[in-house]
Structure 1
Amino acid sequence: MNFPQFLVGMTTASLVVALSTFLATGSIWKALGWTVLTLIVLQVGYFVFVVRLIYRTGRKTHR
């Protein structure tokens, strides 16, 4: 997965969460809160993915 692909997916997911939360609750603040939470979870997941790629690449070169 490359970074531009991640950005498109992250933007789409955050827009879907924001819209669905707003339509379900009618509150812009709840929609904003859930969207921020979603963005944090996605960023942490991407960071873990990159660290795992780096770790696996390092192990392959030392064999």
Structure 2
Amino acid sequence: MSFPKFLVGMLGVLIAFAVTTYMMTHSFWMTVIQTLICAVVIQIGYFGAILFLVMREKSRNAGKQVSSSGDEASQEPSQPFNTSATKTP
């Protein structure tokens, strides 16, 4: 999920949460505090999900490299960028 989609979704959830909290508590300050806590929890969840996806992709790529060559010792280390500085003669 792209960040702009996440941001729009998060703002929608926070607005709905704030309205619901205000209707239940009738306290502006309690609504603000609980909505900020909710925003932090959502951000932590988003960070954890992105971290999980990156780690999963990294392990998939490592598995593909090992299975494609069969021999780990003969495999050259992969270069992150294909530039003239990283090319071997």
TM-score range, shorter chain: over 0.9
C-alpha distance in 2 between matches for 1:16 and 1:34: 12
One-letter amino acid of the counterpart of residue 41, structure 1? V
- 1:6-59 CA-to-partner distances (Å, cap 9, x unmatched) read 001100011011111111111001100110011011000000000001101100
The ranges of structure 1 where at least 4 consecutive aligned residues each deviate by more than 6 angstroms after the TM superposition are none
Give the percent of matched residue pairs that are identical in Structure 1 and Structure 2.
Answer: 33
> Higher RCO, 1 or 2 (CA under 8 Å, sep at least 6)?
1
Q: Greater Rg, structure 1 or structure 2?
A: 2
Q: Which residue of 1 aligns with 2:59?
A: 59
C-alpha distance in 2 between matches for 1:8 and 1:31: 20
One-letter amino acid of the counterpart of residue 36, structure 1? L
C-alpha distance in 2 between matches for 1:47 and 1:17: 20
Query: Which of the pair is proportionally richer in helix?
Result: 1
Aligned length: 63
Structure 1: tracts of 5 or more residues without a match: none
The normalised TM-score by structure 2 is 0.68
Q: Which residue of 2 aligns with 1:35?
A: 35
Structure 2: tracts of 5 or more residues without a match: 64-89
